[in-house]
Amino acid sequence: MKSILHNKETQLVESAMNTIIDEHIKLIHLIKYEEIAGLIPTITDAKHIFIMGAGRTGLMMKAAAMRLMHLGYEVHVVGETTAPAIMEGDVFIAGSGSGTTSGIVSAAETAKKVGAEVLCFTTNPASALAQLAKHTVTIPAAQKQERDTAVSKQYAGSLFEQSLLLVFDALIQTLWELDGSTASELWKRHANME
Protein backbone atom coordinates (compact mmCIF):
# COMPACT_ATOMS: atom_id res chain seq x y z
CA MET A 1 0.00 0.00 0.00
CA LYS A 2 2.82 2.38 0.92
CA SER A 3 4.53 2.00 -2.47
CA ILE A 4 1.23 2.63 -4.30
CA LEU A 5 0.72 5.84 -2.30
CA HIS A 6 4.34 6.87 -2.92
CA ASN A 7 3.85 6.22 -6.63
CA LYS A 8 0.69 8.36 -6.71
CA GLU A 9 2.44 11.19 -4.85
CA THR A 10 5.38 11.00 -7.25
CA GLN A 11 3.01 11.29 -10.21
CA LEU A 12 1.24 14.26 -8.60
CA VAL A 13 4.53 16.06 -8.02
CA GLU A 14 5.59 15.44 -11.63
CA SER A 15 2.22 16.66 -12.88
CA ALA A 16 2.48 19.81 -10.74
CA MET A 17 5.96 20.54 -12.10
CA ASN A 18 4.75 20.10 -15.67
CA THR A 19 1.81 22.43 -15.01
CA ILE A 20 4.12 25.14 -13.66
CA ILE A 21 6.64 24.80 -16.51
CA ASP A 22 3.87 24.76 -19.14
CA GLU A 23 2.42 27.99 -17.72
CA HIS A 24 5.84 29.64 -17.94
CA ILE A 25 6.37 28.46 -21.51
CA LYS A 26 3.02 30.04 -22.48
CA LEU A 27 3.85 33.21 -20.58
CA ILE A 28 7.28 33.76 -22.18
CA HIS A 29 5.58 34.01 -25.57
CA LEU A 30 3.32 36.81 -24.26
CA ILE A 31 5.97 38.97 -22.57
CA LYS A 32 7.03 42.08 -24.47
CA TYR A 33 10.81 41.88 -24.26
CA GLU A 34 11.19 45.48 -25.41
CA GLU A 35 9.51 46.52 -22.14
CA ILE A 36 12.26 44.77 -20.19
CA ALA A 37 15.02 46.19 -22.41
CA GLY A 38 13.48 49.65 -21.93
CA LEU A 39 14.48 49.55 -18.24
CA ILE A 40 18.20 49.25 -18.97
CA PRO A 41 19.16 52.91 -19.63
CA THR A 42 17.33 54.11 -16.51
CA ILE A 43 18.96 51.45 -14.34
CA THR A 44 22.47 52.02 -15.68
CA ASP A 45 22.14 55.81 -15.18
CA ALA A 46 20.82 55.51 -11.59
CA LYS A 47 22.76 57.00 -8.70
CA HIS A 48 21.02 54.61 -6.30
CA ILE A 49 18.39 51.94 -6.83
CA PHE A 50 15.51 51.40 -4.41
CA ILE A 51 13.60 48.11 -4.58
CA MET A 52 10.15 47.38 -3.16
CA GLY A 53 7.49 44.70 -3.19
CA ALA A 54 5.05 43.31 -0.62
CA GLY A 55 4.62 39.76 0.64
CA ARG A 56 5.94 37.02 -1.65
CA THR A 57 6.52 39.55 -4.43
CA GLY A 58 8.72 41.42 -1.96
CA LEU A 59 10.85 38.32 -1.54
CA MET A 60 11.38 38.16 -5.31
CA MET A 61 12.30 41.85 -5.32
CA LYS A 62 14.85 41.29 -2.55
CA ALA A 63 16.45 38.59 -4.70
CA ALA A 64 16.60 41.15 -7.52
CA ALA A 65 18.23 43.68 -5.18
CA MET A 66 20.95 41.16 -4.35
CA ARG A 67 21.58 40.45 -8.03
CA LEU A 68 21.89 44.18 -8.79
CA MET A 69 24.32 44.57 -5.87
CA HIS A 70 26.46 41.76 -7.29
CA LEU A 71 26.66 43.76 -10.53
CA GLY A 72 27.99 46.73 -8.57
CA TYR A 73 24.89 48.91 -8.25
CA GLU A 74 24.18 50.71 -4.99
CA VAL A 75 20.88 49.12 -4.03
CA HIS A 76 18.54 49.59 -1.08
CA VAL A 77 15.42 47.64 -0.10
CA VAL A 78 12.67 50.05 0.91
CA GLY A 79 11.63 49.46 4.50
CA GLU A 80 14.99 48.13 5.67
CA THR A 81 16.53 50.15 8.48
CA THR A 82 19.62 51.03 6.44
CA ALA A 83 17.71 52.42 3.43
CA PRO A 84 18.42 56.16 3.03
CA ALA A 85 16.13 58.81 1.56
CA ILE A 86 15.43 58.54 -2.16
CA MET A 87 16.53 61.58 -4.17
CA GLU A 88 16.67 63.03 -7.65
CA GLY A 89 18.77 60.84 -9.92
CA ASP A 90 17.76 57.67 -8.08
CA VAL A 91 15.49 54.90 -9.37
CA PHE A 92 12.60 53.20 -7.57
CA ILE A 93 11.79 49.71 -8.90
CA ALA A 94 8.55 48.20 -7.65
CA GLY A 95 6.90 44.83 -8.11
CA SER A 96 3.16 44.55 -7.55
CA GLY A 97 0.86 42.06 -9.26
CA SER A 98 -2.19 44.29 -8.89
CA GLY A 99 -0.30 47.57 -9.15
CA THR A 100 -2.57 48.93 -6.44
CA THR A 101 -0.81 47.97 -3.17
CA SER A 102 -1.18 51.21 -1.22
CA GLY A 103 2.26 51.29 0.42
CA ILE A 104 3.99 50.68 -2.92
CA VAL A 105 1.89 53.28 -4.76
CA SER A 106 2.62 55.77 -1.98
CA ALA A 107 6.36 55.07 -2.23
CA ALA A 108 6.20 55.57 -6.02
CA GLU A 109 4.46 58.91 -5.49
CA THR A 110 7.21 59.97 -3.08
CA ALA A 111 9.90 58.89 -5.55
CA LYS A 112 8.33 60.92 -8.36
CA LYS A 113 7.87 63.93 -6.08
CA VAL A 114 11.62 64.10 -5.35
CA GLY A 115 12.60 63.60 -9.00
CA ALA A 116 13.49 59.90 -8.95
CA GLU A 117 12.45 57.62 -11.81
CA VAL A 118 9.84 54.90 -11.22
CA LEU A 119 9.97 51.48 -12.90
CA CYS A 120 7.48 48.70 -12.22
CA PHE A 121 6.59 45.08 -12.82
CA THR A 122 2.86 44.31 -12.70
CA THR A 123 0.05 42.30 -14.29
CA ASN A 124 -1.99 45.49 -14.71
CA PRO A 125 -0.62 48.18 -17.07
CA ALA A 126 -3.60 50.44 -16.25
CA SER A 127 -2.94 50.36 -12.49
CA ALA A 128 -2.08 53.35 -10.30
CA LEU A 129 1.51 52.11 -10.00
CA ALA A 130 1.93 51.72 -13.76
CA GLN A 131 0.56 55.24 -14.30
CA LEU A 132 3.34 56.61 -12.08
CA ALA A 133 6.07 54.63 -13.83
CA LYS A 134 8.41 55.82 -16.54
CA HIS A 135 8.56 52.21 -17.76
CA THR A 136 6.28 49.29 -16.97
CA VAL A 137 6.93 45.62 -17.57
CA THR A 138 3.62 43.80 -17.86
CA ILE A 139 3.76 40.17 -16.78
CA PRO A 140 0.58 38.54 -18.14
CA ALA A 141 -0.05 36.30 -15.12
CA ALA A 142 -3.04 36.00 -12.83
CA GLN A 143 -3.24 38.37 -9.88
CA LYS A 144 -3.62 36.77 -6.46
CA GLN A 145 -7.32 37.72 -6.33
CA GLU A 146 -7.98 36.00 -9.68
CA ARG A 147 -8.95 32.38 -9.46
CA ASP A 148 -9.45 31.83 -13.17
CA THR A 149 -7.74 28.56 -14.09
CA ALA A 150 -7.64 29.70 -17.72
CA VAL A 151 -4.74 32.00 -16.72
CA SER A 152 -3.09 29.79 -14.09
CA LYS A 153 -3.92 26.64 -12.18
CA GLN A 154 -1.56 27.77 -9.43
CA TYR A 155 -2.82 29.48 -6.32
CA ALA A 156 -2.95 33.19 -5.52
CA GLY A 157 -0.47 34.94 -7.77
CA SER A 158 2.19 32.23 -7.75
CA LEU A 159 2.72 32.50 -11.52
CA PHE A 160 3.34 36.26 -11.25
CA GLU A 161 5.86 35.84 -8.44
CA GLN A 162 7.74 33.05 -10.20
CA SER A 163 7.73 34.98 -13.47
CA LEU A 164 8.90 38.15 -11.75
CA LEU A 165 11.98 36.31 -10.52
CA LEU A 166 12.67 34.86 -13.98
CA VAL A 167 12.08 38.15 -15.81
CA PHE A 168 14.30 40.06 -13.40
CA ASP A 169 17.00 37.38 -13.71
CA ALA A 170 16.86 37.78 -17.51
CA LEU A 171 17.31 41.53 -17.00
CA ILE A 172 20.27 40.88 -14.66
CA GLN A 173 21.85 38.47 -17.15
CA THR A 174 21.51 41.13 -19.87
CA LEU A 175 22.98 43.89 -17.67
CA TRP A 176 25.86 41.58 -16.81
CA GLU A 177 26.53 40.78 -20.47
CA LEU A 178 26.48 44.49 -21.36
CA ASP A 179 28.78 45.27 -18.42
CA GLY A 180 31.36 42.65 -19.37
CA SER A 181 32.40 41.85 -15.77
CA THR A 182 33.66 38.37 -15.04
CA ALA A 183 31.98 36.02 -12.59
CA SER A 184 35.07 36.37 -10.38
CA GLU A 185 34.56 40.15 -10.21
CA LEU A 186 30.93 39.69 -9.18
CA TRP A 187 31.95 37.08 -6.60
CA LYS A 188 34.04 39.68 -4.76
CA ARG A 189 30.74 41.40 -3.83
CA HIS A 190 29.08 38.20 -2.63
CA ALA A 191 28.27 38.04 1.08
CA ASN A 192 31.23 36.69 3.03
CA MET A 193 29.78 36.67 6.56
CA GLU A 194 27.32 33.81 6.12
Alpha-carbon gap, residue 98 to 142, rounded angstroms: 9
The stretches of the chain forming alpha helices (DSSP H) are: 2-28, 33-37, 40-44, 55-70, 102-113, 128-132, 158-179, 183-187
| CB count in 10 Å sphere of residue 84 | 10
Q: In DSSP terms, which residues pair with 13 in a beta bridge? A: none
Q: 161, 177, 185, 194: which is the annotated catalytic residue? A: 161
Q: Is 111 in contact with 92 (CB distance < 8 Å)? A: yes
Q: Is 161 an annotated catalytic residue?
A: yes
Catalytic residues, by residue number, are: 161
